[in-house]
Amino acid sequence: MIAIIGGSGADEIIEMADSIEKQTVDTEYGSVEVTLMSIGDKTVAFLPRHSEGHSVPPHKINFKANIMALKNIGVTQIIATNAVGSLDLDIGPGSFVIIDDFLDFTVNRERTFFDDKVVHMDMSEPLCNRLRNVILSHGDCVSGGLVDGGTTVCTEGPRFETPAEIKFFKMIGGTVVGMTSLPELVLAREAEMCYASISIVTNYGTSISPDILSMEEVYEVMEVKKQELVKLLLETIDDLGDDECTCQHALGED
Ligand code: HPA
């Protein structure tokens, strides 16, 4: 099964489903509300990352419960959407970046399923390239196309970054900065699920543009881009099969 973990904007996809069914999934880390959508001949799980009504801030998201809930209902591939700020003047607000790497600057999150077992996950291909390539092949859904590759810097939040932080993140190779991709994508790999992110640029990082950064700016860009995002998700879902992938054997135990 395919799942969408949606940040702001992506929940519009629920309107496009032929039918929906809400389900509460209990896990050892907590309970999670998931909406099962029928889209064409597929069942797709939708999980709002910040819970219903966008009520949970990034640093309080129960990432372990979210990923385990999807695993428990049989999800094998996850398409995430993340709002991000850009560190690159050439990648402006409204751009969609299909990231291929990350820098983890979170400081206070439950980051692994392996607290009682020594497991060192390989991260030489941090995002699923098979899934990334299917998304990238539908770039014509988005005006301006998709940016193929980029490094997301994940901060703890909930505050935005300082000018010095943005300068530093840019210097060490970051392309975009957000608060929600980690540890989500690592937990998905630990749970042997394919994971790719559509990172939507809602603003330039602090001090890259002279304007003061506000939440309104972030929501305004998402509002304008959400139709394109839904189209990209629907075309990608339509194209995705039940493909076997190395991500689904990441622990090397089967
Ligand atoms: N920084 C961190 N998170 C974000 C930003 C940003 O500039 N924009 C959207 N989410």
Mutational pocket test of ligand 1: of 105, 160, 170, 180, the residue with most ligand atoms within 8 Å of the beta carbon: 160
Cis peptide before 48 (omega within 30 of 0): no
Q: Is the CB of residue 178 below 6 angstroms from any atom belonging to ligand 1?
A: yes
- Comparing CA positions, the residue from 81, 79, 96 lying closest to residue 44 is 79
User: Which stretch of DSSP H or E encloses residue 86?
Assistant: strand 77-86
Q: Is the CB of residue 67 below 6 angstroms from any atom belonging to ligand 1?
A: no
Res 114: pLDDT: 97
Q: Among positive and negative, which fits the CA dihedral 234, 54, 103, 116?
A: negative
Mutational pocket test of ligand 1: of 88, 106, 218, the residue with most ligand atoms within 8 Å of the beta carbon: 218
Ligand 1 centroid to residue 58 C-alpha, Å:
11
- Separation between Cα atoms, residue 199 and residue 222, nearest integer Å: 11
Q: Which residue blocks in the chain are alpha helix, DSSP H?
A: 63-72, 129-136, 163-171, 184-190, 215-239
Q: Is the CB of residue 84 below 6 angstroms from any atom belonging to ligand 1?
A: yes
Q: Is the CB of residue 106 below 6 angstroms from any atom belonging to ligand 1?
A: no
Q: Cβ–Cβ contacts within 10 Å for residue 196, how many?
A: 26
Res 67: pLDDT: 98
pLDDT digits (tens, 9 = 90+) for 217-252: 777 888 888 999 999 999 999 999 888 899 999 998
Ligand 1 atom 2: residue of nearest CA: 178
Q: Is the CB of residue 208 below 6 angstroms from any atom belonging to ligand 1?
A: no
Q: Is the CB of residue 179 below 6 angstroms from any atom belonging to ligand 1?
A: yes
Res 53: pLDDT: 73
**Are the CB atoms for 203 and 164 separated by under 8 Å?**
no
pLDDT digits (tens, 9 = 90+) for 11-47: 889 988 999 999 999 999 999 999 999 999 999 999 9
Res 211: pLDDT: 75
Res 254: pLDDT: 67
The ligand 1 atom nearest the CA atom of 161: 1
The ligand 1 atom nearest the CA atom of 86: 7
Work out whether strand 77-86 and strand 176-178 pair parallel, antiparallel, or are unpaired.
antiparallel
Ligand 1 centroid to residue 83 C-alpha, Å:
6
Residue type at position 211: D
The ligand 1 atom nearest the CA atom of 213: 7
What stretches in the chain show pLDDT beneath 50?
A: none
Query: Is residue 157 packed enough to be buried (19+ CB in 10 Å), middle (13-18) or exposed (0-12)?
Result: middle
